[in-house]
């Protein structure tokens, strides 16, 4: 089976069978990262460019490692050190990169739809590494891989996503994916951080943390995105933490075998207390490991052989 697409822009239009294909492939790729020689020759001669207009450690490094373990050549461009600071537009930058014949371009941008613009413009495969508050498909895929590994399936699980849902591309991509895979998704946050269209996405909405995480199989805490907050969306971080932080008291409401996830970077003491982030239920670092495998799978599945 093949992916039916040139690009990976979002989870919204990704059918369940293709999600399964990506996760199955990723599961097989995990073993490569445990070898003495952590490299296979599959993408020899392919060039992968990461084009990041927003800060990132995890995602950019993860893509680069994934590409290198498949023997692709990688070039990293970050906006702060590129001609973007001289005023070059996104489209001009992309057109110029295209002229150097890369095979896959991975883009992160603060504007929703940036990856879609490149995908329409360029022949290369485009992977969306996060576009504004819109989608972050590879994060959702690595989250789904982690849940499937830990729980065997996503079908029927209660999965609580807690935080600033409105500004979170991680939440949006996960909601699309997890509901497709049959999970019961509960979102929770302060009222002004829950978008109005939420019930149409097939999730239940809670404004109270205790109700949201009660009997949950998975609790996914979102990073409070201080850089995306407009002024005065909430009175203070401390008040937010009082109501919406995962801690050793409220986690007892979830199932005994609950797993705790976080896309990183963690604001310790804001959305999650340190003893939970580092505790036995936390799978935060396994998410990072799975991120490399999922990205390897995507690079493999999107490469070559297309007419």
The set of catalytic residues is 58-59, 86, 108, 136
Smallest distance from another protein to CB 33, Å: 12
For residue 300, state whether it binds another protein (rule: CB under 8 A). Answer: yes
Smallest distance from another protein to CB 23, Å: 12
Cα 72 to Cα 94: distance, rounded to the nearest angstrom:
20
Cα 178 to Cα 9: distance, rounded to the nearest angstrom:
17
**Exactly one of 16, 39, 95, 248 binds another protein (CB under 8 A); which one?**
39
If the CB atoms of residues 16 and 248 are measured against another protein, the closer one turns out to be: 16
Asked if residues 270 and 237 have their Cβ atoms less than 8 Å apart, the reply is: yes
Which 3 state secondary structure label does DSSP give 72? coil
Cα 152 to Cα 218: distance, rounded to the nearest angstrom:
13
For residue 123, state whether it binds another protein (rule: CB under 8 A). Answer: no
With contacts defined by CB under 8 A, name the span among 141-149, 196-204, 253-261, 299-307 that binds another protein.
Answer: 299-307
Asked if residues 114 and 133 have their Cβ atoms less than 8 Å apart, the reply is: no
**Exactly one of 5, 6, 12, 24 binds another protein (CB under 8 A); which one?**
24
If the CB atoms of residues 154 and 297 are measured against another protein, the closer one turns out to be: 297
Smallest distance from another protein to CB 42, Å: 4
If the CB atoms of residues 30 and 58 are measured against another protein, the closer one turns out to be: 30
Alpha helices in the chain (DSSP H): 16-29, 58-69, 90-98, 114-121, 137-151, 169-180, 209-213, 237-244, 274-277, 284-302
For residue 149, state whether it binds another protein (rule: CB under 8 A). Answer: no
**Exactly one of 31, 227, 230, 257 binds another protein (CB under 8 A); which one?**
31
Q: Which of residues 243-282 bind another protein (CB under 8 A)?
A: none
Backbone angles phi, psi at 207, to 5 degrees: -110, 0
**Exactly one of 14, 22, 43, 133 binds another protein (CB under 8 A); which one?**
43
Backbone angles phi, psi at 49, to 5 degrees: -110, 130
Cα 189 to Cα 203: distance, rounded to the nearest angstrom:
13
Beta bridge partners of 218: 159, 259
Q: With CB under 8 A as the rule, give the number of residues binding another protein.
A: 26
Smallest distance from another protein to CB 299, Å: 11
Residue 203 Rama label (left phi>0; alpha psi -120 to 50; beta): beta
If the CB atoms of residues 106 and 301 are measured against another protein, the closer one turns out to be: 301
Smallest distance from another protein to CB 302, Å: 9
The enclosing H or E element of 151 equals: helix 137-151
For residue 35, state whether it binds another protein (rule: CB under 8 A). Answer: yes
Cα 209 to Cα 190: distance, rounded to the nearest angstrom:
9
Asked if residues 297 and 22 have their Cβ atoms less than 8 Å apart, the reply is: yes
Asked if residues 75 and 49 have their Cβ atoms less than 8 Å apart, the reply is: yes
Cα 56 to Cα 261: distance, rounded to the nearest angstrom:
18
For residue 307, state whether it binds another protein (rule: CB under 8 A). Answer: yes
For residue 42, state whether it binds another protein (rule: CB under 8 A). Answer: yes
For residue 36, state whether it binds another protein (rule: CB under 8 A). Answer: yes
**Exactly one of 12, 40, 117, 205 binds another protein (CB under 8 A); which one?**
40
The residues that touch another protein, with contacts defined as CB under 8 A, are 1-3, 24-25, 27-29, 31-32, 35-37, 39-43, 70, 297, 300-301, 303-305, 307
């Amino acid at each position: 089976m093949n992916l039916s697409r040139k690009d990976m822009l979002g989870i919204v239009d990704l059918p369940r069978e293709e999600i399964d294909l990506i996760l199955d492939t990723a599961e097989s790729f995990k073993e490569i990262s445990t070898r003495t020689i952590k490299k296979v020759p599959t993408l020899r001669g392919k060039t992968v460019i990461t084009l990041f207009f927003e800060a990132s450690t995890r995602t950019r490094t993860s893509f680069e490692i994934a590409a290198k373990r498949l023997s692709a050549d990688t070039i990293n461009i970050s906006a702060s050190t590129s001609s973007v600071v001289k005023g070059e537009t996104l489209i001009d930058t992309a057109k110029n990169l295209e002229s150097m014949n890369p095979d896959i371009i991975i883009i992160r941008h603060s504007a929703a739809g940036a990856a879609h613009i490149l995908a329409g413009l360029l022949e290369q495969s485009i992977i969306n590494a996060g576009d504004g508050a819109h989608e972050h498909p590879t994060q959702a895929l690595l989250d789904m891989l982690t849940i499937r590994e830990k729980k065997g399936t996503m079908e029927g699980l209660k999965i609580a996503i807690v935080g600033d849902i409105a500004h979170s591309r991680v939440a949006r991509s996960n909601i699309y994916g997890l509901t497709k895979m049959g999970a019961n998704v509960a979102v929770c946050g302060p009222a002004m951080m829950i978008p109005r269209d939420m019930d149409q996405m097939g999730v239940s909405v809670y404004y109270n943390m205790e109700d949201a995480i009660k009997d949950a199989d998975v609790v996914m805490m979102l990073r409070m995105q201080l850089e995306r907050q407009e002024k005065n969306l909430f009175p203070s971080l401390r008040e937010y933490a009082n109501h919406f932080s995962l801690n050793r008291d409220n986690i007892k409401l979830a199932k005994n075998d609950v797993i705790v996830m976080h896309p990183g970077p963690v604001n310790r003491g804001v959305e999650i207390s340190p003893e939970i982030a580092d505790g036995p239920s936390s799978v935060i670092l396994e998410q990072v490991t799975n991120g490399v495998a999922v990205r390897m799978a995507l690079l493999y599945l999107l490469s070559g052989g297309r007419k």
